[in-house]
Structure 1
Amino acid sequence: MAGGRNTKMKVAAIGLGSMGYGMAQSLIRAGHDTYGYDIVPERMQSLVDEGGKSAELADIAPDLDAAVLIVLNAAQTEAVLVGDEGILSKLKKGAVVMSCATVAPDFARSMEAKCAEVGVHYVDAPISGGAIKAAQGQLSILSSATPAAYAAAEALLDATAETVFRLGDSAGAGSAMKAVNQMLAGIHIAAMGEAITFGMTQGVDPASFVEVISKCAGTSWMLENRAPHIVAGDYTPHSAINIWLKDLGIVLDIAKGAKFGAPITAAALQQYLAAAGTGLGMEDDAAVAKVYARNAGITLPGMD
């Protein structure tokens, strides 16, 4: 069916983590019949309680106008689409798949080709903005797709994004830009952790660090967003340490394929690996600062 701002669609939101759940909420709010799927049944029931629909995915797949995939990685994306219980063979011609995981550009192109073989549109649509913006329908989507796929997905994009960057007329360009973004974001968080703990060795307390540096040239969006978590001693995961093992790993794989050296990215990844190795993998990614703190023998707010 054709997309459009006033089109009511039957949508499966597959992957109801912090980002996926918020996107599903935004789809419901926009008036779409939204079916949520996750390995955690409580998340599915919670979405139903908020107005979502319920049905077995295999049963509803032939009637879907769209599937939004907000899963963890390429392996899960591939499993959902073409695995043993994959939905691609069940989707009707003209349906659209909007794939939001951080994946390598070549993988996005391969999924687009598989979708095209059965007459299904594919939008390479990595997302940025965090869980709060996902729930508000104000994400940035770094997308690339054919004009026909964009038309089929227009109502989905309107419901979930504040800004849609259209970066090319085939899959791959969106994922390439997401890799660039994740490289910078992961480095910036690690750099913030290094700077805030370095400041503490010089008598700069974390609250003063945030107050001053956020108004100076050394700031970044990630610093302003994550450093307050350290000040509060609150490491409730909005974006977990383990995410960066995956995303910076993808970035470095892409860099290796391009024969491109990325030493700063590699150094940042080592700090996340160190954090995960000491049991911090499921804490907020601001907890990378704990690695620096422990090495320096200092205590952050909320640290034992």
Structure 2
Amino acid sequence: MSTDDTTTAPVTAVLGLGAMGLPMATRLAGAFPARAFDVFEERRTLAAAAGATPAATPAEAADGADVVVIAVRDQDQLESCLFGGGPVEKGAAGVLREGAVVVVTSTVGVDGVQAVATRLAERGVRLVDAPVSGGAVRAGTGDLLIMVGADDTALEAARPILDRLASTLHIVGPRTGDGQIMKTVNQLLCGIHTAAAAESLALARALGIDLDRAVDVLGQGAAASFMLADRGPRMVQQYQAAEDGTGGPELRSRLDIIRKDMNIVVSLAKKAGVATSVAAAADQLYQLAMSQGLGAQDDSALVTLLSPRTAG
């Protein structure tokens, strides 16, 4: 299939237009006939402005689609989009033709994606397990890391879509769930690195170091990481907002999402019999943030838990 000729390009539906889903829909609409669904009308309006055709239900978006890309928060939302339930009355699975492919980009865990794959297979629909990493900005430019678990037939059908979204595409294995396993390992590091960045900046602040300078210095040495470079400036904004009442950073990655992912990490590690004590400690820090009502905030808000409101 050609990504330049929309008469032969796969008809695509994107279900879920959150922080990752909307930029992915925007990216896909630039190359394919694309439809887009979200439970919130304002998100559908944004997708329409980007060139996608808005749909009021997952079924409307998926009717006649070759590939359905799902970018939702958790297992419950995944099942709702496909099979109905909750705020969604008409799930996509009921209208998908035999041979269609569902691409799950969400982090839902091995058991969750395998359960969905089994139900779809009963309808003759294939599933590509394809969780993503890279953030919203990279999603909009086709610069994502995508970790895939799928058989060759499903992968071939979804390949034009995956290639449009990814700069780095890794076929982890042929099994549904292989992508989720790799993403879980990825999130272990991401969750720890974010927590470590928060602790480092909280310490720097408590000791009277300028935080902008701290982020700059740390980013140029052995302590550098993607999460520090991405979250660090937003953590500085979190402190500034707490001190002077200015607006905090743009919401780009909800704290309850990384908490959900770290819960998957700890659960899978326990099942595998692997000690992940550092990940467990980070998980508890995110749980503390959740208990303080920070779940809907950007995950950079984690830093505000770790030192007094005013620097020492």
TM-score, scaled relative to structure 2: 0.88
Q: Give the aligned residue type for 1:264.
A: V
Q: Is the 8 A contact 2:147 2:183 kept in 1?
A: yes
Partner of 2:144: 139
Q: After alignment, is 260-269 or 92-101 more displaced?
A: 260-269
2:299 pairs with one of 278, 282, 285: 285
Partner of 2:228: 223
For residues 13-47 of structure 1, what are the alpha-carbon distances to aligned partners after superposition, in whole Å with 9 as ceiling and x for unaligned?
000001000000000111x1111111111111221
For residues 205-242 of structure 1, what are the alpha-carbon distances to aligned partners after superposition, in whole Å with 9 as ceiling and x for unaligned?
21221121111112211011111112344432111211
Q: Give the aligned residue type for 1:280.
A: L
Pairwise CA RMSD of aligned residues? Answer: 1.9
Is residue 115 of structure 1 aligned with residue 117 of structure 2?
Answer: no
Q: Give the aligned residue type for 2:53.
A: K
Q: After alignment, is 215-224 or 5-14 more displaced?
A: 5-14
Change (3 A) 1:195 1:120: same
Q: Is the 8 A contact 1:4 1:151 kept in 2?
A: no
Partner of 2:167: 162
**How do 1:190-269 residues align onto structure 2 when only pairs under 5 Å count?**
190-232=195-237, 233=240, 234-269=248-283
Change (3 A) 1:278 1:90: same
Q: Give the aligned residue type for 2:22.
A: Y
**Local SS of the residue matching 2:293:** helix
**How do 1:77-92 residues align onto structure 2 when only pairs under 5 Å count?**
77-84=78-85, 85-92=90-97
Q: After alignment, is 200-209 or 142-151 more displaced?
A: 200-209
Deviation at 1:55, TM superposition (A): 4.1
Partner of 2:29: 28
Q: Is the 8 A contact 2:60 2:92 kept in 1?
A: no
2:192 pairs with one of 182, 187, 194: 187
Partner of 2:73: 72
Change (3 A) 1:217 1:60: closer
**Local SS of the residue matching 1:67:** strand
Runs of 4+ in structure 1 off by over 6 angstroms are none
Highest RCO, 1 vs 2 (Cα 8 Å, sep ≥ 6): 1
Q: Is the 8 A contact 1:94 1:121 kept in 2?
A: yes
Q: After alignment, is 152-161 or 197-206 more displaced?
A: 197-206
**Hey, what's the Cα distance between the residues in 1 that align with 2:61 and 2:205?**
55
**Hey, what's the Cα distance between the residues in 2 that align with 1:277 and 1:51?**
40
Where structure 1 has 5 or more consecutive residues not aligned to the other structure, the ranges are none
Change (3 A) 1:117 1:261: same
Q: Is the 8 A contact 1:275 1:290 kept in 2?
A: no
Q: Is the 8 A contact 1:98 1:125 kept in 2?
A: yes
TM-score, scaled relative to structure 1: 0.91
Q: Give the aligned residue type for 2:112.
A: F
Change (3 A) 1:60 1:39: closer
For residues 256-285 of structure 1, what are the alpha-carbon distances to aligned partners after superposition, in whole Å with 9 as ceiling and x for unaligned?
222333221121122222223223222221
Q: Is the 8 A contact 2:286 2:302 kept in 1?
A: yes
**Hey, what's the Cα distance between the residues in 2 that align with 1:111 and 1:268?**
29
For residues 174-198 of structure 1, what are the alpha-carbon distances to aligned partners after superposition, in whole Å with 9 as ceiling and x for unaligned?
0001001111101111111101111
Change (3 A) 1:274 1:154: same
**Local SS of the residue matching 1:54:** strand
1:270 pairs with one of 277, 284, 295: 284
Q: Is the 8 A contact 1:13 1:24 kept in 2?
A: yes
**Hey, what's the Cα distance between the residues in 1 that align with 2:302 and 2:269?**
23
Is residue 97 of structure 1 aligned with residue 98 of structure 2?
Answer: no
Change (3 A) 1:88 1:241: same
What fraction of aligned residue pairs are identical, expressed as a percent?
A: 36
**Hey, what's the Cα distance between the residues in 2 that align with 1:271 and 1:163?**
31
**Hey, what's the Cα distance between the residues in 2 that align with 1:168 and 1:50?**
34
